[in-house]
Amino acid sequence: MIRLAAHLLLATPAVVLALAWQGRALGVDPQKSLIWETGIWTFNLLLLVLLLPRVARWTHWPVLLRYRRAVGLWVFSYASAHFLFFLSFLLGWDFPRLAEEIVKRPYVLLGFAAWLTLFALALTSTRGAMRRLGRHWKRLHSAVYLALALVTVHYLLMIRSDWAWPVSYASLALLMLVLRLRSGNRVRS
């Protein structure tokens, strides 16, 4: 029941976005809104997934940890939607052009690398994969911090003149990294 509610909550931005798209409420250029909003929600949930174990420890509320995988999979879902919209709206499914863009444009390279990282984590998020990978699983999944670093720079590279949002997100990401490094040599969650 709670699990269902959690999934519904995490799906809310996607549902609202889909309804707004259908209702022609995304403005003159809905394609751009879809790309930007799925991107920002990937970042939001990525921060949430990293915050979850910290909140669980601080509040002694281990139940929260059960929803980490759910949030993580939603991070991957929003990232995939973001990537698909980019492919469809900006590249028109032109795969040679995708390869060219990845080579030529650092922000595309970083975004693609982040998506691949999240893809690897999503693929190995099952109980079976956890069992098979054993002690390597934890090390592999600390790559979520790699994904965080990649999306942070990806977003910073989008700055043209207004830097408030990207720099705010970069500060939060930096905070998460510092917290992680500081607690790294103490008890691991």
Evaluate whether 149 touches 177 at the Cβ level (below 8 Å).
yes
Window contacting another protein (CB under 8 A); options: 26-34, 76-84, 128-136, 174-182: 26-34
Evaluate whether 153 touches 110 at the Cβ level (below 8 Å).
yes
Evaluate the CA torsion angle 103, 104, 110, 116 in order and state its sign: negative
Q: Shortest approach of another protein to residue 167 CB, angstroms?
A: 8
Q: 170 is written with which tokens? A: 């970069």
The contact pattern for another protein, residues 81-120, with x = CB under 8 A and - = no contact, is: --------xx-x----x--xx--xx-x-------------
Residue 51 Rama label (left phi>0; alpha psi -120 to 50; beta): alpha
Window contacting another protein (CB under 8 A); options: 67-75, 109-117, 135-143, 160-168: 160-168
Query: Of these, 1, 4, 28, 103, which contacts another protein (CB under 8 A)?
Result: 28
Amino acid at 127: R
Angle of CA points 84, 90, 96, to nearest 5°: 80
164 binds another protein (CB under 8 A): yes
The contact pattern for another protein, residues 31-70, with x = CB under 8 A and - = no contact, is: xx-------x---x----------x--xxxx---------
* CA dist., res. 168 & res. 174, Å (int): 10
Q: Which residues of the shown chain bind another protein in the complex (CB under 8 A)?
A: 24-32, 40, 44, 55, 58-61, 89-90, 92, 97, 100-101, 104-105, 107, 157, 160-164
